[in-house]
Structure 1
Amino acid sequence: MSSESITVVVDGKEHVLPRGALTGRDVLMAAGGDPERRDVLIRDDGGAARLVAPTDPVEADEDTVATFRVHRNGGLRHLKVDGRLWEWGAAGIQESDIREIADVADDVGLFLANSGGEPLRRGSMVDLTADWVPHVVTRQVATERATVPVVVNGRSRELVAEDVTYEDLVGRAFPDRRDLANRMFTVTYRDGPADRPEGSLVPTQRLHATRGTVINVTATDKS
């Protein structure tokens, strides 16, 4: 690559652009974006996500590849990751995006500091539309995970794993099911994870239980 050009990556695709007086508008338009359409350009290298306005200069060392994401018809949102302010162009950010941009190792957990330290489960979304700025913190996850205290049919229980299945919960509520072959089970819960604090489960579905989740399992005759 010539020293007079710069390689940038936008949404996973490489673009080689003239280095001189390169701006956010140039990068956005090279990727098919349009600032007049409220497309938002976010630079995500360097361990954080930050807005690049159309008039902002884009600089990078010759050995550095600047990476960006375009949010079509987006709007500026904020979050903090380990105390560092991030900017984002969509209403929510995936847990996997935070992990990728901040280069968080697999054995490190992500937690919402302003939701009582609730863990972010894999594949979840952090809502950025609230009046408060979400603060995500990283924390080493112990090899042996602590149990999660929940309530099942009015009785306190300790779950060894946070992710439990419909079948696990039915088994806990009705440990002897041999006499219940002609019954069907309904599993509902409340005070669950932030992305879905209440709901129900059907066979094979999983629930990411959090401290204090209240679970009710009822049995009814199939006939």
Structure 2
Amino acid sequence: MTIADTAENPATTARSSFTAQIADESFQFRDVEFDDRKVTGAQIAAAAGAYLATDYVVLLHLLNHEIETVRPNELVDLQIGPRLFVIKGDGTERFFVDGLALEWPRKSLTGGGIKFLAGKDEDLDLLLEREDQPDKVIDDDDEVRIGAPGVEKFHTRPAQVKVTIIVNTRPKPWTKKRISFAEVVALAYPTPPAGENIVYTVGYFDGPPHRPEGSLTDGESVRVRDQMVFDVKFTDKS
């Protein structure tokens, strides 16, 4: 069990501190250190700046992607290096992803947030199940109301992507949700330029709403959208 009753005697340990990852509804995690191996929900809320714990919901995100609500007097074992959310609210809304029951303290959540909580690869499509209409594909940036009457159900499937991106003014078909720095360079220069010290720069615009323009460096990738534009240049540093 990851949550223990406060009556349990905490196990002694030689470690001087324990770390938990804590985020709010923005999914921006930060490492927080505690002196004790087991801490209460109220202590977790206070560490996140929520000193009136009854006004906040503390969620434990388990390794199997299940979510448990932590009451103010319950203990969480930090030995497992848990990931936690502290979000203002007085209850949670339930929803399902591929049969996995999840909960969230807000009445809406983005498609990307739903996939993150369910542990689903971002390259998968997320679909909202509907009885009287075809299932609706939910983009990562789409806000979905999960607090509607009834319980929302979602399922995932391999992505069905077919877009055209513009690389150095030339249209290129693309069938994945993301494109990496190396993939953009390969599209721009199928035959690499001669030289032993070639350095590439990749810029883009007309990208996804949360990151419509920017640049990529080696090892990075970005979500694509139809008619997204990439500009790839190279210099010879020899």
Q: TM-score range by the shorter chain?
A: 0.5 to 0.7
Distance in 2 (CA, whole Å) between partners of 1:36 and 1:143 is 44
Distance 1:102 1:73, change over 3 A: closer
Residue 69 (structure 1) aligns with: 85
Q: Which amino acid aligns with 2:149?
A: D
**Structure 1 residue 100 displacement after superposition:** 2.0
**Structure 1 residue 143 displacement after superposition:** 5.9
SS at match of 2:144: strand
**Mean Cα displacement is larger for which, 22-31 or 136-145?**
136-145
Q: Which amino acid aligns with 1:25?
A: A
Distance 1:127 1:143, change over 3 A: closer
Q: How many residues align?
A: 145
Question: Is this contact kept in 2: 1:92–1:126, CA < 8 A?
Answer: yes
**Mean Cα displacement is larger for which, 93-102 or 77-86?**
93-102
**Structure 1 residue 43 displacement after superposition:** 2.1
Residue 33 (structure 1) aligns with: 50
Question: Is this contact kept in 1: 2:61–2:67, CA < 8 A?
Answer: yes
Residue 129 (structure 1) aligns with: 147
Q: Which amino acid aligns with 1:50?
A: E
Q: Which amino acid aligns with 1:139?
A: R
Residue 100 (structure 1) aligns with: 116
Alignment of structure 1 residues 170-209 onto 2, 5 Å? none
Question: Is this contact kept in 2: 1:74–1:89, CA < 8 A?
Answer: yes
Distance in 2 (CA, whole Å) between partners of 1:88 and 1:58 is 19
Question: Is this contact kept in 1: 2:42–2:53, CA < 8 A?
Answer: no
Q: Which amino acid aligns with 1:31?
A: A
**Structure 2 length as normaliser, TM-score?**
0.53
Alignment of structure 1 residues 1-223 onto 2, 5 Å? 3=15, 5-11=17-23, 12-46=29-63, 47-61=65-79, 64-114=80-130, 116-142=134-160
Which digits, 9 at most, give the CA deviation of each residue in 1:78-123, with x for residues without a partner? 1111111112111111111122233322331111124542211220
Distance 1:143 1:91, change over 3 A: closer
Distance 1:48 1:125, change over 3 A: farther
Question: Is this contact kept in 2: 1:38–1:75, CA < 8 A?
Answer: no
SS at match of 2:76: coil
**Structure 1 residue 35 displacement after superposition:** 4.2
Which digits, 9 at most, give the CA deviation of each residue in 1:51-102, with x for residues without a partner? 22212220244xx421112212453211111111112111111111122233
Distance in 2 (CA, whole Å) between partners of 1:30 and 1:36 is 11
**Structure 1 residue 13 displacement after superposition:** 1.8
User: Pairwise CA RMSD of aligned residues?
Assistant: 2.8
SS at match of 2:58: strand
**Structure 1 residue 38 displacement after superposition:** 1.5
Residue 194 (structure 1) aligns with: none
